[in-house]
């Protein structure tokens, strides 16, 4: 029953992500967290599922990809993933545990929510910054991916730019997320002793659902006007940020 719920959720959330560029990943992460007991397994399996989802979105929107954005993000993410590996290694020694799967990483989520609110509503916008400094975004994404799982909402505000169409936003954000999801696979294998093949019975159906949902979402995206898309994108991001903040306060 739990697997059926996750398969349906993967289909619906991937459709949502293909339509508005985000939201589906963090919803799926929340559902997986309720049904799977170990947090590190949730983040690891979610990353593999999102790898397929973002890969599919990147492919179906490949004509909208901007190489400059992806290249800068890739360079930064290498640094971010390297730093996160060092942090995990330090924490293993600090907590005196054999593997990192004995450590909880829940404290970053409310900080990310606060950051998103600041970025969207409170920061002073620099109109001359057309590149978006995606090298720095890559560092942030690579650094936090291991600890929070769904980095989509964290990097999403940087894609809210006048010169990027809805297709540009979805394609480039998905391409950037592929990099961080791929990069954290060896980290989970090495530091968390995770064997992905043990979970193939649930991973494969979820990956298929994500693939189907992404293609459905792409077709539906064509019916959404540009201004409406960006408005929904911003509203969805704000709701996610508030949830990250208040979930930490309540629980």
pLDDT in tens, 135-149: 999 998 998 888 776
Nearest CA among 118, 238, 208, 166 for reference residue 17? 166
Compute the average pLDDT of residues 76-99.
89
Q: In terms of residue numbers, what domain contains 241?
A: 2-250
| Interatomic CA distance for residues 149 and 131, integer angstroms | 26
What local confidence, expressed as pLDDT, does residue 171 receive?
A: 92
| Interatomic CA distance for residues 110 and 152, integer angstroms | 15
What local confidence, expressed as pLDDT, does residue 127 receive?
A: 46
- Whether 53 shows a pLDDT value over 90: the answer reads no
Place of tokens 């829940």: 106
pLDDT in tens, 128-178: 444 458 999 999 899 888 877 667 778 888 888 878 888 999 999 999 999
Total tally of structural domains belonging to the chain = 1
Those residues whose C-beta lies under 8 Å from the C-beta of residue 10, and which sit 6 or more positions away, are 28, 49, 206, 209, 210, 213
- Whether 39 shows a pLDDT value over 90: the answer reads no
- Whether 83 shows a pLDDT value over 90: the answer reads yes
| Interatomic CA distance for residues 111 and 244, integer angstroms | 8
- DSSP3 helix / strand / coil % (the chain, rounded to 5): 80, 0, 20
| Interatomic CA distance for residues 218 and 84, integer angstroms | 33
């Amino acid at each position: 029953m739990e697997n059926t719920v996750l398969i349906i959720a993967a289909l619906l959330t991937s459709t949502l992500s293909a339509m508005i560029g985000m939201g589906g990943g963090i919803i799926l992460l929340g559902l997986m967290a309720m049904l799977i007991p170990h947090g590190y397994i949730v983040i690891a399996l979610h990353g593999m599922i999102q790898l397929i989802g973002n890969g599919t979105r990147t492919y179906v929107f490949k004509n909208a990809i901007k190489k400059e954005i992806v290249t800068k993000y890739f360079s930064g993410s290498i640094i971010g993933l390297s730093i996160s590996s060092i942090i995990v290694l330090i924490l293993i020694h600090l907590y005196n545990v054999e593997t990192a799967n004995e450590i909880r990483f829940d404290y970053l989520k409310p900080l990310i929510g606060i950051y998103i609110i600041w970025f969207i509503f409170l920061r002073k916008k620099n109109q001359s910054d057309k590149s978006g400094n995606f090298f720095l975004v890559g560092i942030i994404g690579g650094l936090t991916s291991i600890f929070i799982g769904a980095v989509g909402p964290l990097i999403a505000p940087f894609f809210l730019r006048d010169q990027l169409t809805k297709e540009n936003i979805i394609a480039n954000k998905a391409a950037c997320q592929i990099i961080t999801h791929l990069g954290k696979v060896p980290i989970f294998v090495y530091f968390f002793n995770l064997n992905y093949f043990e979970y193939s019975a649930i991973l494969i159906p979820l990956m298929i659902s994500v693939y189907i949902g992404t293609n459905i979402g792409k077709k539906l995206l064509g019916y959404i006007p540009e201004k409406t898309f960006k408005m929904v994108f911003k509203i969805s991001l704000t709701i996610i940020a508030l949830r990250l903040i208040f979930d930490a306060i309540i629980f």
